[in-house]
Amino acid sequence: MAMEDEEQMSVSDPMEAQAATLDPPGTIAVVGAGPLGIEAALYGRYLGYNVTLFEAVAVAGSMADDRDAAIPMMPDRCASPLAFGALAAQQSDDHPKALPVTIGQWIDQIWLPLVESDLLRGRLRCPDRVTELNYAPDDVETQETDDEDGPDDDVPPDFQLTLSGGETDRFESVILATGALSGDFAGEIRQPFSGPVDYLFQIGQKCTGDAETDFWTGLKEIVGVYASLGGREDLDLYNPLRP
């Protein structure tokens, strides 16, 4: 399938239900290891999906230049209940660590430990930049042949990710989670898609200027992604853990 670099990537709205479903342990690629990318990968692992997290530069790297600045939200709202639960499970004593109050502490106490937690350990590929996103060629050829010969089993093609080193990997679903840079970053990924695509999602696009609001909106989008993949109207793992 020819690549059209100039087209704007259009992906499925995570807040709208889809007919396409994917059962665990289906394979999911999450692109971007910022807060929402890590949260999306963690959510998928809680549900039993086989998740790989790709990061081009560094975990939470977009925040690294502001390490001494105050965290832009209330410390107890700086991660999801699932994230705090995963961190608590790794602690060796009965006393929880103090909550982060600076961005540097946010990175060092929340996001770096999370990618080394039991659910995500070994699933981060960093630095590993995704440069191309397409359907897996052999799947497309098989689907086209099936279309000519008669109806198939309605199995969609996998996505193929090409990385900056030239290697490729394939996944059944892709979640783009590059935060406020999503639009620009998505443009750097060569891709042919010109309309909404099943199993392809983008989260963290909404920017109100309020970091806490945007973060928690992103968490709601994550819920929407996995509800969609599960074929359910609601699949909120955060709700039962709210006080």
Q: Is the pLDDT of residue 76 over 70?
A: yes
Average pLDDT over residues 171-188: 70
Domains identified in the chain and CATH numbers? 27-241 (3.50.50.60)
Bridge partners (DSSP) of residue 159 are 135, 171
Looking at residue 119, its pLDDT comes to 96
Which of 172, 182, 177, 79 lies closest to 124 in space, CA to CA? 177
Contact in structure between 33 and 224 (CB atoms under 8 Å): no
Give the predicted TM-score (pTM) of the model.
Answer: 0.86
Q: Which two tokens stand for residue 98?
A: 């103090």
Classify the C-alpha dihedral 67-68-71-76 as positive or negative.
positive
Contact in structure between 159 and 171 (CB atoms under 8 Å): yes
Q: Which two tokens stand for residue 133?
A: 């996103």
Share of the chain above pLDDT 70, in %: 79
Strand positions, DSSP E, the chain? 27-31, 50-54, 124-125, 130-135, 159-163, 168-171, 173-176, 200-202
Q: Rounded CA gap, 80 and 49, in Å?
A: 19
